[in-house]
Amino acid sequence: MVQAAPSDQITSDQATASAQISETLGRQRAYFNAGHTQPIEFRLAQLKALKQAILDYQPEILAALKADLNKPELEAYLTEIGVTKEINYAIKHLPTWARPKSVSLPLEQLPAKGRIYAEPLGVVLIIGPWNYPFQLMISPLIGAIAAGNCALLKPSELAPQTSRVIAKLIQATFDPAYITVAEGGLEVSQALLAERFDHIFFTGGTQIGRAVMAAAAQHLTPVTLELGGKSPCIVDSDIQLEYTARRIVWGKFLNAGQTCIAPDYLLVDRRIKPKLLAAMQQAIREFYGDDPAQSPDYARIVNDRHFGRLSQLLPASSAEGEIVAGGSTNAAQRYIAPTILDQVTPEAAVMQEEIFGPILPMLEYDNISEAIALIKARPKPLALYLFTRDAQLQALVLAQTSSGGVCMNDTIMQIAASSLPFGGVGESGMGSYHGKASFDTFSHYKSVLVKNFWFDLKWRYAPYAGKLELFKKIIR
């Protein structure tokens, strides 16, 4: 439903949904055009209101995440409610971000002043995913608010309890002509994408990202696409073994592996592989006990379809790999144990698509050039991980690979730094956000040249006779 008024229920009929969304967008455009969102004081007040609402709704948010994904409470705080840190960062820096910037001008422009103004885009659409259904809905909203836009949010219907809480929180906090929520399935998404927005921010899979981009092209609407891909994790022999194992296991099996920047597969120096595997097996036991199905700290697969897809990636024969940890499943609970696969080849089914679940294939290499070649032969990933003490190896991997971001000697934590833009490259996405990058994403930087009437040299006006040599000197 569009949270504009109790009567604005979006039905499963696309024509009705389209009419209601069009009406809502009309109200939002009127609100924006009236200039309500422009003042910095207004934006700061809305950011503070959003933060307070998240704190007030914590119990409902936690309960919803538990219902949708069996998300442990600590994980929910760390990866979902922790989005309040991003709000704090925006509040602190917004006055500086929004201030017009003076720039230098070439001699022939003088006397004049050059400034760059950050102005809001207008009415933006934010489409969220199901894996971190609260944080990945709210985080881009922070940038949209900070930049002075109106926003329409579309949470994922695959996390229905969280979607309802988001709708309730937004409706209770903001004027629906300013920020509102559209809940629903495919018919609502199609109705939204048929409309003209000033920017579309999408987080999700590559296939749907293509559809979003195609729909946006009909209106020449700019898009930010936060997608995914097979993020490699290279493990050198020169490491701190225990820390490496713990950090990989945590990053991979957080949220039952349903993380867009989770290590998708390991590329391990052959000399260290036996010790690393043993340390990772031990880390799994330390984190989740002998039976992770009984652990209160392990999430579940979001729905039956994804459970079935992931189950098919478990090797049915030795030709597809060997299960060396985990492998057990329970369809009724949508449970797949933290699983490590060995003896996997690049041609195996598990290596052909982003896994997005708790299955971690291990491949080995003798020379780092082999690992780099395998990575470069595939689409550019959203994240790349490298574990090594060797500074020269770090520099080599940075220079010879391309990815949305890189994290060395840890996993996942790069996403938590507001000062680091987050985004993909190639098939893993386009555009970035977090911190100032979020403000930039939802802003247009308008260049302004201000001349004066002190005097007016005639060198650029016709007639041009005798002026060519002067022009040649100017443009050299």
> Is there a contact between 268 and 363 (Cβ–Cβ < 8 Å)?
yes
226 catalytically annotated? yes
407 is catalytic: no
Catalytic annotation, pick one of 183, 195, 226, 427: 226
Catalytic residue, candidates 80, 260, 364, 407: 260
Catalytically active residues, by annotation: 226, 260
